[in-house]
Amino acid sequence: MNNNKKLFLYSSVGLTFLALVASSERIAAVTSAPEAPVETQTAEFSTVVNPSIPSSVTFAGKKVDLDPTHMWERLDRELTAMTYTHGNTLLGIKRANRYFPILAPILKKNGIPSDMIYLAVIESTLNPRALSPAKAGGLWQLMPATGKEYGLEVNEDVDERYDPVKATEAASRYLKNAYAKYGNWESVAASYNGGMARISKELGSQQVDSAYDLYLADETMRYIFRMLAMKLIMENPSAYGFNLTADQLYQPIEYKVVEVNTPVDDWAAWAKKQGIDYLTLREHNPWIRSKTLPNKSGKTYKVSIPIRDSLSRSRQKVKVYNPAWVVAD
């Protein structure tokens, strides 16, 4: 090996050695440097407030005795659940502005206490098109057989359980019959969920007079207390954290009524002649269940045609059924 090659080799080895030394010093400097303090973050939680139960609670004009622990705790459970299940409770309040003006006068006319309106709220969240897995339908969640029993037409073309007016009339007939049997409205409410036969049987076998004192299936035992909780919230929503302005409430719809006593071969074509589309027809007449109306009997049906301004947020009249439902803008 000549001298030049030896010199090159020795130089390369030397440079490599120096690079390794420098690298080791840098590593040592890094590893020996004091660690920077780790900042710890404290989790922030929103304040959860237990909803308050008023000192005096009434249902259908009768004071509810909340001194027994089981009574107070059952109401507390439902009030807590509804207060923190914001979506459905909010929808119930907003829809009430549209449907209470329809339902309340019918209940009053039939001698039904105004508090029974909360039955419809907890049954359907005031959705007139609501349909349960058990096939209960409409605002009052009437079963097909119950609807027919109380005078409603229920078939594949027409289902009056979805007509807010006719369904409320049918529900009123049921409620009056149940009150004639039990003599108190809490048992009437329980029967709406559990059935008259079941409530009558249990009142007899458990030797009590009120559904408050019955041991029943959990859903039925909770039922009256769900109504009480909804009543408390809807009487004073802001006390439970529900702050709505007037324009957030669903406004009543104004209609013109067109009577139909002949078959309708095509509801979409019929709607077009009335100046609306098929969607609008079905939205505002949920009792229509198919695209045709055979009507072999010549029965007269009342079809609601919404006034155009009622369907425009910029032109509709803003009304508030209960001033307690809103706060100042």
State the residue for tokens 């989790």: 43
- CB contact at 8 A, 106 and 140: no
Lowest mean pLDDT among 48-57, 109-118, 193-202: 48-57
- CB contact at 8 A, 189 and 211: yes
Residue 50, number of CB atoms within 10 A of its CB: 9
> In the prediction, which pLDDT does 37 show?
61
pTM attached to this predicted model: 0.85
Q: Which fold, 58-244?
A: Lysozyme (1.10.530)
Tokens of 310: 């009622």
Between 89 and 14, whose confidence is greater?
A: 89
Q: Over the stretch 217-273, which tens digit does the pLDDT of each residue have?
A: 999 999 999 999 999 999 999 999 999 999 999 999 999 999 999 999 999 999 999
> In the prediction, which pLDDT does 4 show?
42
> In the prediction, which pLDDT does 36 show?
61
Between 218 and 39, whose confidence is greater?
A: 218
> In the prediction, which pLDDT does 51 show?
93
Residue 288 to residue 65: CA distance in whole angstroms: 44
Phi-psi region of 140 (alpha: psi -120 to 50; beta: other; left: phi over 0): alpha
Q: Over the stretch 148-190, which tens digit does the pLDDT of each residue have?
A: 999 999 999 999 999 999 999 999 999 999 999 999 999 999 9
> In the prediction, which pLDDT does 38 show?
62
Q: What DSSP assignment string belongs to 226-243?
A: HHHHHHHHHHSGGGGT--
> In the prediction, which pLDDT does 17 show?
40
> In the prediction, which pLDDT does 40 show?
62
> In the prediction, which pLDDT does 31 show?
47
Q: What are phi and psi of 137, to 5 degrees?
A: -135, 155
Strand partners for 264 = 293
Euclidean distance between the first and final Cα of the chain, in Å?
A: 96
Please say if the pLDDT value at position 7 is more than 50: no
State the residue for tokens 């702050």: 243
Cα radius of gyration rounded to whole Å, the chain: 34
Q: What is the mean pLDDT of residues 197-219?
A: 97
Q: Coil, helix or strand for 14?
A: helix
> In the prediction, which pLDDT does 45 show?
77
Task: Specify the pairing of strand 255-260 against strand 62-63.
Answer: unpaired
Tokens of 221: 């035992």
Arithmetic mean of pLDDT over the chain: 90
Q: Which of 216, 180, 213, 185 is nearest to 198 (CA)?
A: 216
The burial class, CB within 10 Å (0-12 / 13-18 / 19+), for 317 is exposed
Q: What is the mean pLDDT of residues 179-204?
A: 98
> In the prediction, which pLDDT does 15 show?
41
Q: Over the stretch 53-111, which tens digit does the pLDDT of each residue have?
A: 999 999 999 999 999 999 999 999 999 999 998 899 999 999 999 999 999 999 999 99
| Residues with Cβ within 8 Å of residue 242, at least 6 apart in sequence | 86, 89, 90, 93, 233
- CB contact at 8 A, 130 and 141: yes
Phi-psi region of 295 (alpha: psi -120 to 50; beta: other; left: phi over 0): left
Show me where the domains of the chain are located: 58-244, 255-306
The burial class, CB within 10 Å (0-12 / 13-18 / 19+), for 190 is buried
Q: What are phi and psi of 109, to 5 degrees?
A: -60, -35
